[in-house]
Amino acid sequence: MNKPSTKDTVLSLLLKNEGHAVSGSEIAAISGVSRNAVWKAVNALKNDGYNIKGVNNNGYTLSPQSDVLSADAILQDIAQKNFISDIIIKKETATTNDDAKLLGHNGAKSGTLVVADMQTNGKGRRGKSFFSPAGSGIYMSLLIRPQAEIEQSLMLTVAASVAVSRAIKKLYQVECSIKWVNDVYINGKKLVGILTEASMNFEVQTLDYAVIGIGINITTQSFPPELCDIVTSLCEHTSKFISRNKLIATVLNELIPIIKADFDKKLFFEEYKERSMVIGKEIDIIYSDRTESATAIDINEDCHLVVKKENGDTVALNSGEVSIKKKKRT
């Protein structure tokens, strides 16, 4: 890695002392620069949106309520730091998944994380888009190179939905449910979308790399009309301050052990089923040209959704989309 800039060093010191004042001379001594250079770096950080208070002769305090995406802040809270090889923060990008795929194609290391403050072309599953306005969501893509077969990609995506649900419970005590395959919901509204994309090595029939893309609505209040009734933002379910950096790190802290254990189902499958909001429900299976009614019976060990169709046939779906039928009013 390159030598960190003065701005990065100052930020890292302020983050370590979040909520407490650090004197300009102390920062200058540790960073090996002049107090004037520290002052300039602090101003640059303020311009980036960091909430830094400078009290006369009392040094600088980074308010714990700053929510500027920062590689340092994310890394600081990651338990298994050696899993992460790089964190790339972008103010704006088309889609972090394509960024991570390009990096994967060009040989980037497993554990490369791309995070954006906004996406202009956020991608969802089945060709849909993912609404990604500036500063109000988490748009992150993790590049990994697992020793896995292509069939296991479904496990990646399922594991990610459990990791996000656990992280939200841990930080905000909010309980999430999961709509097969991997949409994370709160109180019947979608909060999180996950798009996993993989590149296969045909020679050995294993994954060359996979990109797990996670989008979480954090403070978005105004959604396009077609989404208004079906999506929600985390801020509506907690009064706590939500730090995107902390949530990203906590999601990774939940996900990394599962990835390291080669998607050992024991680590997440039971919880995935417990959080399922479709088992036992009347559903529509959505095909590209039609829908079909069925009852969701179970999720099998391969994470396929077992459904009973109206003609009595029981089948296991390995991909696709379902919607839960609304109860008819009597």
* Least separation in angstroms between CB 195 and ligand BTN: 4
Q: Report how far apart the first and last C-alpha atoms of the chain are (Å, whole number).
A: 64
Is residue 95 at the binding interface for ligand BTN, with CB under 6 A as the rule? yes
Q: How far, in Å, CA of 138 to CA of 248, rounded?
A: 8
Please report the sign of the dihedral spanned by the C-alpha atoms of residue 170, residue 171, residue 175, residue 176. Answer: negative
Q: Is 177 in the site for ligand BTN (CB under 6 A)?
A: no
Reference 243, options 91, 43, 51; nearest CA is 51
Place of tokens 């949409």: 183
Q: Decide if 25 contacts 35 (C-beta within 8 A).
A: yes
Residue 96 in the binding site for ligand BTN (CB under 6 A): yes
Measured from the CB atom, the residue of 195 and 267 that comes closer to ligand BTN is 195
Position 123 contacts ligand BTN (CB under 6 A): yes
Return the residue of 119, 196, 245, 276 that touches ligand BTN, per CB under 6 A.
119
Tokens of 200: 């296969």
Q: Does 104 interact with ligand BTN (rule: CB under 6 A)?
A: no
CB of 218 to ligand BTN, least distance (A): 12
Distances (CA, A) of 251 to 21, 140, 168, 169, 326: 29, 11, 8, 11, 31
Nearest distance in Å: CB 315, ligand BTN:
23
Tell me the window of 22-30, 123-131, 228-236, 241-249 that interacts with ligand BTN (CB under 6 A): 123-131
DSSP H or E segment with residue 155: helix 153-172
Under rule CB under 6 A, residue 101 binds ligand BTN? no
For residue 113, give the amino acid letter: L
**Residue 131 binds to ligand BTN (criterion: CB under 6 A):** no
> What is the total count of residues that contact ligand BTN (CB under 6 A)?
19
- The site for ligand BTN (CB under 6 A) is made up of 95-97, 119, 122-125, 128, 130, 139-141, 193-195, 213-215
